[in-house]
Amino acid sequence: MDETREEVARRRLLARRAELRAARGAPGGGEPRSIGEATGELSTYDNHPADVATETTVRAQEVAFRDGARRAIERVEAALRRLDQGTYGRCLRCGGPIEEGRLAVLPEAELCAGCARASEREELS
């Protein structure tokens, strides 16, 4: 049985959300740990400052990663809502259709390729 374009998109989005949720839970999982728990010590007081700095950097990266994953999940869920509303595949900026090839690699895309490039330029400037 052939899937409709919407069914294909929904399947891709659900798979992507599951993937992102699994990735988010990977390092540590759940709430960010305290430095003490992360190093398995009650206190970081007697640690060499360089060790603490390294641990802090790793923790910052983990939090940034999870934050990025959370935002990505939100984008996937917004795309699922657009599917329900029948506006999926429309550019949020110009209202034009988002390219099929773009949706294939980025099912949660909110902008067409032209608008995505334009908004990247705006962010950089």
Q: Are 103 and 9 in contact (CB under 8 A)?
A: yes
* Of 68 and 96, CB closest to Zn ion: 96
Residue 32-71 contact track with Zn ion, rule CB under 5 A, x = bound: ----------------------------------------
* Of 23 and 116, CB closest to Zn ion: 116
Can you read off the two tokens belonging to residue 61? 């990266």
**Closest CB 75 distance from Zn ion, rounded Å:** 16
43: which residues sit within 8 A by CB, 6+ positions away? 36
Looking at 18-26, 39-47, 79-87, 104-112, which segment touches Zn ion (CB under 5 A)? 104-112
Distance set, CA 7 to CA 10, 14, 68, 96, 107 (Å): 5, 10, 26, 21, 12
Q: Are 116 and 46 in contact (CB under 8 A)?
A: no
By CB under 5 A, is residue 115 in contact with Zn ion?
yes
Looking at 8-16, 42-50, 72-80, 111-119, which segment touches Zn ion (CB under 5 A)? 111-119
Using alpha carbons, select from 91, 73, 76, 97 the residue that is nearest to residue 11.
76
Q: How many residues bind Zn ion (CB under 5 A)?
A: 6
Looking at 1-9, 15-23, 64-72, 109-117, which segment touches Zn ion (CB under 5 A)? 109-117
Residue 57 CB: number of other CB atoms within 10 A?
A: 10
